[in-house]
Amino acid sequence: MATATTKVKKIKRLVPLLTLHAYTEEHFQFIESGIDGQDKVFTGAIDSIKYALAEGKNEAEVFLLQDYTSVVALHKKDWHTTLNKAMIFYADNGNFDKAIECQDLISLL
């Protein structure tokens, strides 16, 4: 059985701006639990972990918040857990290429 491989190479990466508009706690919980919101967060996490691995960093900057001064970052010790959750999310939603990409990144940790 052939699997896709993820090659880690040096790249330039701009930390994306996270733009989720939540007006109430209930609205925030709806966005957080929605597939689009989760996909946006997991995609940012995967991209930032790939970049951090390529650059030899111990922290992956996932998103810049709308105040343009705060960054959501993942410490290296949290990468495995994050990638595992992303892998399950993508497998459950039928995006097997992304799930395999997560699995390949986990094997590099």
List strand residue ranges (DSSP E) for 1-109, in order.
59-64, 71-75
Least confident segment among 1-5, 37-41, 59-63, 68-72: 1-5
CA angle 69, 52, 84 (to 5 degrees): 105
pLDDT tens column, 79-105: 999 999 999 999 999 999 999 999 999
